[in-house]
Amino acid sequence: MKPLAQIGFMPEALSTHPQPYRHYWKPGDKYSDIVTGWAYPPKDYNKWAELVYQWVKHCVERYGKREVESWYWEVWNEADGYYWKGTQDEFFKLYDYSADAVKRALPTARIGGPNTTGGAMKWLDAFLKHCLYEKNHATGTTGAPLDAILFHAKGSPRLVNGVVVMSIRNQLRNIEDNFRVIARYPELKNLPVILGESDPEGCAACGMATDPQNAYRNGTMYSSYTAASFARKYELAQRYNINLVGAVTWAFEFEDQPWFYGFRDLATNGVNKPVLNVFRMLGMMKGKQVAAESNQRYTLQEVLDSSIRRTATDIGALASKDQNSAAVMIWNYHDADERAITAPVRLSIRGLPVKKVKLIHYRIDDAYSNSYEQWKKMGSPQQPTAAQVKELERAGRLQFMESKTIHVPADESIDNRFFYHAREFH
């Protein structure tokens, strides 16, 4: 993990529309109330550029040139939507001055944009044309620095007859639509692409009290959605020959809030939620991706056409191998947050060049790596005791179900059998 440094928003002293500046938004209020003087262009682009220059220079002095070279810098956030009160051309001007300032402070720094919302393909296209072919507002030359392309992609869960129904299709279509735009430009081939926000829906600060469809966030629905969606992101990148280098889970930290209130966070009051363990699992997948097949995995096109809504759940796998290890992530996912019957899974691994392997089986389900289920068993306390907090912390860690040594037969293959309920995986 590395910082993705966002250059924004506008200081009050530089804003062309400084008042009102402070907002008083809280969950339940109209979201547009959050937009005040910080969303406007600068009165002086040179002063803005000096501010950016000094920030990057300070980071180099504090953290070192080599470290800051490993970061990405991005300008603003979703200028096509709520957060930018200037014109499109004024945003391009802001980007030009910002990118020039970053490069003056550190010529080897990496900067990109435009961090548009998932449906803003025309904005993305216009931005790419500007960076490639148009006059730079800051330097007068043609084009602007572009070391990475960033955009956002979100799903759209709904409450249907009291049941949360996700839309993995919506998020993946966001990604595909933007990949198509990028793929039109041969000059951009191999340029790093980052999903600047990549989430099941759009409002991290909206909890279950105001938006009951956000109930997915506490338990295994969020974790299994994450596994199933990330695997398809890689597939889409391969389909469009995109150099996808990362994705941001737009999760916040919320202080002094009720336990498991349904915010989009990775932990509640310091206790890890199941979704954080998915990223721990992904972090174990070293080396290169290798082929993995499942006879109950929805094809990528099926998901893009109609999401994961048939009676059968999506049981799929993502696999990797390194010099001395291999990893397989298996998930059992469905858009509808309903329990399904137990699914037997047979895992076969072929071509093992050793005589003996150690198998460690990690699991996220109701019994393993799940602080939310443990909290409910306690009676959902809003003021848990110190002992209960310690127990919740233990339940929130990634836990293994079994660990054993297996002797590899002459055909260099091993089989193992598991049983999965809906939304369980390892």
Tell me the DSSP string of 183-250.
HT-GGGTT-EEEEEEEESSS-TT--TTT-GGGGGGSSHHHHHHHHHHHHHHHHHHHHTT-EEEEE---
Q: Residue 261 has what pLDDT?
A: 93
Strand (E) or helix (H) holding 55: helix 45-63
Type of residue found at 205: A
**What is the spatial distance between Cα 422 and Cα 414, in angstroms, rounded to a whole number?**
25
Q: Residue 203 has what pLDDT?
A: 87
Q: Residue 372 has what pLDDT?
A: 98
Digit-coded pLDDT (tens) for 287-312: 999 999 999 999 999 999 999 999 99
Residues 379, 365, 157: CA angle, nearest 5 degrees: 85
Q: Residue 52 has what pLDDT?
A: 98
**Cβ(274)–Cβ(217) below 8 Å:** no
Specify the CATH number of the domain 4-284. 3.20.20.80
Q: Residue 421 has what pLDDT?
A: 52
Q: Residue 422 has what pLDDT?
A: 46
Q: Would you give the DSSP letter of residue 425?
A: B
Residues 340, 157, 198: CA angle, nearest 5 degrees: 110
Q: Residue 272 has what pLDDT?
A: 97
Q: Residue 1 has what pLDDT?
A: 80
* Those residues with Cβ within 8 angstroms of residue 359's Cβ, 6 or more apart along the chain or in another chain: 402, 403, 404, 405, 406, 414, 416
Q: Residue 424 has what pLDDT?
A: 47
Note down pLDDT in tens along the chain; length 426 residues: 889 999 999 999 999 999 999 999 887 788 889 999 999 999 999 999 999 999 999 999 999 999 999 999 999 999 999 899 999 999 999 999 999 999 999 999 999 999 999 999 999 999 999 999 999 999 999 999 999 999 999 999 999 999 999 999 999 999 999 999 999 999 999 999 999 999 999 988 888 888 999 999 999 999 999 999 999 999 999 999 999 999 999 998 888 899 999 999 999 999 999 999 999 999 999 999 999 999 999 999 999 999 999 999 999 999 999 999 999 999 999 999 987 767 888 999 988 888 999 999 999 999 999 999 999 999 999 999 999 999 999 999 999 999 999 899 888 888 877 655 544 444
